[in-house]
Amino acid sequence: MSGTKARKLDHIRIVLDSHVEAGTTLLDDVYLVHNPLPEIDFGEVDTRTRFCGKTLDAPLMIVGMTGGHEVAEKINCMLAQAAAEHGIAMGVGSQRAALEDPSLAKTYSVARKCGGQELVLVANIGGAQLLEKGPAIGEQVVEMIEADALAVHLNVGQEIFQPEGDHRFKGLLKAIGELVEKLSVPVIVKETGHGMSYDAVYALRSVGVRFFDVAGSGGTSWILVEAYRHTGPPSMAARWFGVWGTPTALSIIEARWAAPDACIVASGGIRTGLDAVKALALGADLVGFGLPALEKLAEEGLGGLKNYIAALKFSIKAGLALTGARRVEELWEKPVVVQGRLRELASLKGIKLEYYQSIRGFIHDRCA
């Protein structure tokens, strides 16, 4: 078994068998104002949204986590079936394994086969591979799975603590800018559990990036995942740094403050429907989840995953109604109270929350 293929199996096993969630999303510091007199009927609430040229039934996405192993092939098929049935988006895990061993491409392309052409499917490659192979790698991985968009994941933390990690990061901003110019589909720059900052989003937006997945801390820590893969000083250090990163709620605020016109996917520790509604209210366009989907598949099978997605969709519709909003765009116009540590950190980062309220929905259709 190749090193990359074995690592992909390690990752699936570890995230399901070990405690790899760390930190806090700070979504508990977000308070939504209940409207007991919404003056709308529940049937009027519409959760549909445009994303990468297609319409989703709800602003939800199963974020890329797996691929590159026979086990992952079965998982990606079931994830795609559930996503397609519920009209939400899906991403695959890093396609590096298939670039190294083309026989593994089917573990990723199975998502299109099982999900059909209407599924919004996102390809995935690491920043390290982009630096190594150049922008041409983008079309290669997009064509591999007939993707509607390409996610370039930034996993500096994981690479540093990974025994086989690639420690070359210089020149990545320029490389991403070149990819955006040349690729035929949207480029989503995503973190992998340690959050996006204002400075990073601002710099990426300046080179043409319009889609971001903040993937903040408070959910799966891929630094912590690496702590389970080896022993010795690096493993000890990885455990110390497991809580490293920008919490998801703060990442949403920083990303929106830096790029009012960007399409923002909020992932990282999103587990409940209330988490999802809070993330949207803060200014996110879509909400992403990964580990909960794998857990539901492992514990309850495909039916359990479908029920979980249905509950998330219902929660978003309920959250809109309870604030008096008919659509997510109207939710951005409703008051949201930011308190506690989240308010303190946002203020320390120079974000004026009294102005932030008005820019959440300054531009609509940011993901179309």
Residues 83, 89 contacting (CB under 8 angstroms): yes
Mean pLDDT score across all residues of the chain: 93
Q: How confident is the model at residue 84 (pLDDT cuts 50, 70, 90)?
A: very high
3-class secondary-structure state, position 113:
helix
Nearest to 34 by CA among 334, 338, 363, 364: 334
3-state secondary structure 271-287: CCHHHHHHHHHHCCCEE
Asked, for residue 128, whether it belongs to a domain, the answer is yes
Length, in residues, of the chain: 368
Phi and psi, residue 49, nearest 5°? -150, 155
Number of other CB atoms surrounding residue 317 within 10 Å = 18
Asked, for residue 271, whether it belongs to a domain, the answer is yes
Pairwise CA distance, residues 287 & 294, whole Å: 16
Residues 248, 268 contacting (CB under 8 angstroms): yes
Look at the chain and report how many structural domains it folds into. 1
Q: Fill in the amino acid letter for 75.
A: I
This prediction's pTM: 0.95
Asked, for residue 256, whether it belongs to a domain, the answer is yes
**Lookup: tokens for 302:** 């495909």
Q: How confident is the model at residue 10 (pLDDT cuts 50, 70, 90)?
A: low
Four-residue CA torsion sign, 75, 152, 122, 25: positive
Q: Fill in the amino acid letter for 40.
A: I
Alpha helices in 183-264 (DSSP H): 198-206, 222-227, 233-240, 248-258
* Tokens 């990426």 found at: 204
Asked, for residue 204, whether it belongs to a domain, the answer is yes
Quote the pLDDT of residue 23. Answer: 87
State the distance between the two ends of the chain, measured CA to CA, in whole angstroms. 41
pLDDT tens per residue, range 158-185: 889 887 778 888 999 999 999 999 999 9
Q: Which stretch of DSSP H or E encloses residue 56?
A: strand 54-56
Asked, for residue 368, whether it belongs to a domain, the answer is no
pLDDT tens per residue, range 118-145: 999 999 999 999 999 999 999 999 999 9
pLDDT tens per residue, range 39-80: 999 999 999 999 999 999 999 999 988 877 788 899 999 999
Quote the pLDDT of residue 11. Answer: 62
Asked, for residue 367, whether it belongs to a domain, the answer is no
Asked, for residue 365, whether it belongs to a domain, the answer is no
What's the DSSP call for residue 194? S
Pairwise CA distance, residues 199 & 227, whole Å: 28
| pLDDT at 286 > cutoff 60 | yes
Q: How confident is the model at residue 117 (pLDDT cuts 50, 70, 90)?
A: very high
CATH of the domain at 281: 3.20.20.70
Quote the pLDDT of residue 70. Answer: 81
Asked, for residue 366, whether it belongs to a domain, the answer is no
Quote the pLDDT of residue 162. Answer: 84
Nearest to 113 by CA among 76, 150, 70, 159: 76
Range of the domain at 277: 3-359
Q: Fill in the amino acid letter for 94.
A: S
Phi and psi, residue 217, nearest 5°? -80, 155
